Amino acid sequence: MSTVEHAPNAETANARSDRGPIGRPAADVVVSVGTDHHRFDRLISWIDDWRDRHPDVSVVVQAGTSPSPRYDSRELIPHGELLELFRGASVVVSHGGPSTVMDARMSGRLPIVVARDPAYHEHVDEHQMRFAEHLARHGVAIVVDSREDLFAAMDNALADPDGFAVTADHGNAVGVTEFARAVDDLIGTRTPTREDRS
């Protein structure tokens, strides 16, 4: 992945006047690690480091059980509020959960995905890693697995938000829903569908 020649300045990053949920300013960057009880400290640490380099960029993180003291962070964000934050963001960073990826796409954003890795005790198995490979193969998300690649993708998305916009109608992109159903069958869960959310 190539890096951005120039980082956006505070004026560019904060030029939007749109409002987020409940009249709050919309965040430039929204990060969601999902609701799994496993910590995702690796992603949180990378976001902390990226934020240190971009102090004028607003960041909101749904951090789950991982601590994140340097920016607006909440363990959980209500689903409707998270969707509003996704819609108003220039950058959406997500764990590799099918529901969160679909939510980002249905909100009009191409998500940057960092899959949870069981080698770091971030999940019980490699299903997010396999799902992320599927997303990358089909161009459904930008999948990264290193700090440097995450920084480059976030810088690119912040510099060119339109390049990370998708048509909301493509929220159920090629194979995403079918893959979610297969994972649900394997682990005995049910991923909410668009119809469930209507």
pLDDT above 70 (res 17): no
* Inside any domain, residue 41: yes
Instruction: Give residue 173's domain range.
Output: 10-197
* Inside any domain, residue 4: no
Tokens of 121: 């005790």
User: Which CATH number fits the domain that encloses residue 167?
Assistant: 3.40.50.2000
* Inside any domain, residue 56: yes
* Inside any domain, residue 105: yes
Mean pLDDT to the nearest integer, 165-191: 64
Share of the chain above pLDDT 70, in %: 71
If one compares 131 and 181, the residue with the highest pLDDT of the two is 131
Q: Which of 39-53, 63-77, 129-143 has the lowest mean pLDDT?
A: 63-77
- 15-23: long-range pairs with CB below 8 Å, 24+: 16/88, 16/90, 18/88, 19/88, 20/84, 20/85, 20/88, 21/80, 21/81, 21/84, 21/85, 22/81
Q: Which residue is associated with the tokens 């469930």?
A: 196
* Inside any domain, residue 54: yes
CA distance 64 to 38: 8
pLDDT above 60 (res 169): no
pLDDT above 70 (res 56): yes
* Inside any domain, residue 58: yes
Tokens of 55: 């102090």
Q: Is 29 helix (H, G, I), strand (E, B) or coil?
A: strand
* 74-128 pLDDT, tens digit each: 889 999 999 999 999 999 999 888 889 999 999 999 999 999 887 877 877 777 8
Is residue 55 packed enough to be buried (19+ CB in 10 Å), middle (13-18) or exposed (0-12)?
exposed
Mean pLDDT to the nearest integer, 2-9: 33
Mean pLDDT to the nearest integer, 180-188: 66
Q: What is the mean pLDDT of the chain?
A: 78
* Inside any domain, residue 5: no
Which pairing describes strands 72-74 and 59-62: parallel, antiparallel, or unpaired?
parallel
Count of domains for the chain? 1
pLDDT band (50, 70, 90) for residue 21: very low
